Amino acid sequence: MTDMVRPDTKLRCLYYPYSRAIDTKTLKKAVLLFDEIVFLDSQPWFVRNELLKDKSKGASLHLADNYDYLAEKGIISFRDSTDVVHKQDILLTTNIVNDVRSDEFCREAIDYDVTVWDVLTERIPPTFLEAFYPGAGTFSEAITLQALVKAKGKLEELPKELRSFAESRWRSRDPAQLWQAFRGRYKFVIGGNPHVRLESYKIPFLQASSLRINEALLISGMEGLTPFTDSKIHDRLLRLKVNNSLSALAKNANLREKMEIDLPRQLPRQHLAISILDRLLPPAELERRSLAELTEYRIAHADQFGRFAGKVAELAAEIDSIRPSSEYNRDLQRIIDAKVIPELMAARDELVTDYEKSFGSLVLKSAKVVVPTVVLTAFAGLGVWEILGACALAELGMLSAKGADDLLESWRATRKSTRKSFAYLADL
């Protein structure tokens, strides 16, 4: 399919934060939205298939077969991020530290989930194990505190395996005291052994989510991919990260100068294309079609999708630039309403007509044009490299002067090389 679309108009995404999407609806939507879907995984295919079978139940029993089918069609591909994670060690670790240092980021993650992930050491940047303390007893205290913070101090709401420890260690602490205890010394604690290198480490949802979000941003920036997720919590965490980047850049002119940021940025064409294609089909219609049907439709109409993407790129180049800010999405929607929708609806109508030829009449909720909501626009007008660079360089306190200079030079060199390799970054 992807070979039939002009290279300069391809829409390619990277799914995060997990190694696979386990909801078939996510795969259906991704097939319609993107020419290629990339997954990050260091495990062999047969190992991941067995894990998928363990997670798949009921209607999702054939999830592994769906991945086999999409791989045969050349729609999905896989990346082992191990080398990149190690080469970009400091950039990743400083970004994770910056995320976890944010109380708002921590509260958002903890209020959602306090489970613990087993993360392979090969997917962890080496200096992460210096910035975060891999303990045993201290880890028990940390995860119990997180659970109590989530439960607002109610011991009876804790899992049985944590309750007895919490009663002996944290009894009679109110929610405010529990939060202060956590943010004081337990934010940077993970499960492991500080004296022995392990094959994997136990990392709470909070820190593990930051690790996976930053890994996804890094690979996306290097390969010209659009980060894509069906996890609302990870989208919210990414938005918080973007806000922290904006704040750091707004407050620090020296940081902007060091990063050589030429604000404002041009509206990325990817945001426009996804905002329209996301509304191509009503949810009920998506449910009616099998993954294979939608895939074959996408392949058969690759030329139309290519023309659509080309029109989007043409319009994006004409749109006035929007200054990165927390109001980026609002300003973007205003411009879409005024300048983009009238011209793009013709391209969308062509796709709908082709869909009806394939599957029969498409029942839309209203004959009135529905202004699409821009989805996956979590960057507030910044590019991937600006987000990673701002968060990393905001953590210069944890680096020596030489370490800070090395990080800045490495960041500049990587950004420059990827911009040369992937023309789409010029839009960002």
pLDDT band at 171 (very low <50, low <70, confident <90, very high): confident
Number of alpha carbons in the 13 Å side-chain half-sphere of residue 411: 25
Give the least confident one: 171-180, 282-291, 343-352.
Answer: 343-352
Q: Which residue has the tokens 């919490």?
A: 166
Domain extent listing, the chain: 2-41+43-79+269-359, 101-210
Q: Give DSSP secondary structure letters for 57-113.
A: -GGGTTHHHHHHHHHHTT-EEEE--HHHHHHTHHHHHHHHHHHHH-HHHHHHHHHH-
pLDDT for 158 beyond 70: yes
Per the model's pLDDT, the better-predicted residue between 107 and 328 turns out to be 107
Q: Are strands 36-40 and 76-79 parallel, antiparallel or unpaired?
A: parallel
- Provide the whole-model pTM: 0.81
Beta bridge partners of 81: none
- Model pLDDT for residues 220-279, shown as the tens digit of each residue: 888 888 888 889 899 889 988 988 887 877 777 777 766 665 443 434 556 666 666 666
- Model pLDDT for residues 95-107, shown as the tens digit of each residue: 999 999 999 999 9
Average pLDDT of the residues in 14-35: 88
Average pLDDT of the residues in 158-187: 85
Q: How far is residue 118's CA from residue 201's CA, in Å, rounded to a whole number?
A: 6
